[in-house]
Amino acid sequence: MPLALDSFYNIAICTDCPIGIPFDWIKAHMKDNHGLKCSDLQVFERLNITTPTMKSDEVEQWISNNQVIGTPVEGIPVLDGVGCSRCPYSAKKKKALYNHISAFHREETPKAWIVIQKVQKPFQGSLKKYLQVESVDESYTENEGIEDWELKLNDDFTRLMEDHNRIESSGSLDLRLMNAFVAKIRYISMLS
């Protein structure tokens, strides 16, 4: 059974998915997602526990009380995300933050802005929510280097446009280079 325990937060983790599973969802998750039948007793033995891990109603409470967590939930990916400068709202994509700010902080001064931060989505389904992770061991992170790449791309573009202007004044344009650049831009927007 692909099940592990974050004993600090008392959360059961499906190591295959990888996502936190409320105790009362474990049997259904194992059956529906992994074709495994298991009993409560097997779960207790597997996790080496004597009392249940966080259940769905407890998770709901925990998430609304802990929109910022000090350390990551073990075994769940830590992602590059964004947060709101005015409240603990976090998300993976900037677009969600723009929507949040225009819905909740539109009239406020000073204006709310978007903060780059690490986020984690410990649960899925009706408990899906991004939490801000304050301290992160760098080995946890993924998507490392994309921002650097974006910066480099901007540099490339500037250089390309300078070249373009130079070439255009001499009467020819490297279309291949331009197409490569457009393809790269498409790829970047796919990622973000």
- Give the Å distances, CA to CA, from 189 to 146, 150, 159: 12, 10, 21
Distance CA(81)–CA(90), nearest Å, equals: 7
Taking the complex as a whole, the smallest distance from the CB of residue 82 to Zn ion amounts, in Å, to 11
Name residue 181's amino acid: F
Q: Which of 8, 37, 68, 87 binds Zn ion (CB under 5 A)?
A: 87
Distance CA(17)–CA(19), nearest Å, equals: 5
Residue 38 lies near Zn ion (rule: CB under 5 A): no
Site residues (CB under 5 A) for Zn ion, limited to 96-155: none
Residue 73 lies near Zn ion (rule: CB under 5 A): no
Q: Is the peptide bond before 110 cis (omega within 30 degrees of 0)?
A: yes
Residue 11 lies near Zn ion (rule: CB under 5 A): no
Taking the complex as a whole, the smallest distance from the CB of residue 19 to Zn ion amounts, in Å, to 7
Closest-CA residue to 116 (of 70, 82, 150, 72): 82
Residues that contact Zn ion, how many (by CB under 5 A): 8
Taking the complex as a whole, the smallest distance from the CB of residue 44 to Zn ion amounts, in Å, to 18
Residue 89 lies near Zn ion (rule: CB under 5 A): yes
Residue written as token pair 């700010």 = 101
Taking the complex as a whole, the smallest distance from the CB of residue 2 to Zn ion amounts, in Å, to 6
Q: What residues line the site for Zn ion (CB under 5 A)?
A: 14, 16-17, 33, 84, 86-87, 89
